[in-house]
Structure 1
Amino acid sequence: MRSLERHRDVGAYALGVLDEADAFRFEDHLVECPWCAAHVTGFRPATRQLMLYRRATPRTVRPLAHPGPRLLDRLLGELSHRRRARRRRLLYGLAASVVLAVAGPGLVAFAGHAGPPAARITSATDPRTGVWAQVTSEDRTWGSDLRLEIEDGSEPRRCRLVAVGRDGTEEVVAGWTGTGDGTRPLGATGASALHPGQIARYEVRTDAGRRLVTLKAP
């Protein structure tokens, strides 16, 4: 697959409609392409909404059936909630800028104490495989920003990081090809539509589905 074709597969990968072979090839490309990584992250909210629709829809309903009023009300309500929250943040930011302009530098000294939520870190070593991994998650408006460090000295192999939600939802959030060199950690980045508080655990798996290490979410 040429590079341009891989770029075109970003939407299909984010929505989970690529077959397994194409998904593995795209994950290799994703590790080296910041442009595609950013676009996969941008698709997360839409993917999350489609996942919620699928879980809320009985299996007997045809895929092309029109959504009922309850689902539409939920989607519209969530959109309205997000718009109100965005408007409140804008107003708070405007009010804060006015206060800072009036109060002068005396108030600015206290502004540094408030910051973004602290990152959540979890690590584990599997006694069977000997694989060690650490996941750092940071909350974002769209979900979670994730960083992985892993030590796997067994053999070169293709792996993936899977986030498992408290509701049983599974989401592949990163992919890489291990070198089999366990002398130093390998790093990878990813993103999830689930917020850190919605994630129950992380699992590092091979492309064949073998679980190498499980990390309980903090």
Structure 2
Amino acid sequence: MRSLERHRDVGAYALGVLDEAESFRFEDHLMECPQCAAQVTEFGPAARQLMLYRRATPRFVHPMAQPGPRLLDRLLGELTVRHRARRRRLLYGLAASVVLAVAAPALTAFAGHGEPASRVTAATDPGTGVWARVTTEDGDSGSLMRLEVKDASGPHSCRLVVVGRDGSEQVVGGWSVGTRDTGTTMTMAGSTMHPDQIAHYDVRTTDGQRLVSLDPS
């Protein structure tokens, strides 16, 4: 390379963009050219600033870069996996819909031949203003009951009395009502009588006053 071309490599050398062979030849030139040596020294601060900028800036992708075959294969593979997963989810959803559609009539038929539905009885006494609702379910050894009461006629203690069709009575629950109690009291109870053996339910005070009577028939 001629001497003039060597002089032009000062900037490239200072910035470190020459390859190893070109750098070796330019360093031989520096030993004989005080002018290029001075220019390399002058380029020092600028080269250091560019080096700091490069270290502080994330690496970039060249705008003309193109994906290699391995990258394309990997992307196509990921797309295939996603499409297969989406297709499986769609098939599972369709299968679940078919199962529900087939099972619905069977479930309805089973429900129709299962245990009898709960019996709900509610009433409000016009004299006392007490409201009550009893939900009764038939059990193996009798009836299971849930009682809800709204009673603002307190204070007093109350009982739930189950009266059978044969005239027998069973006290199956008790609770207390405060003064001007406007809330709903709920209690669970049980009786040895089955629902078809019960004539009515009475909510009474402990001294025998009937607050409300509920007839399930």
Q: TM-score, normalised by structure 2?
A: 0.49
Q: TM-score, normalised by structure 1?
A: 0.49
Higher relative contact order (CA 8 A, sep 6+): 1
When Rg is computed on C-alpha atoms for both structures, the one with the higher figure is: 2
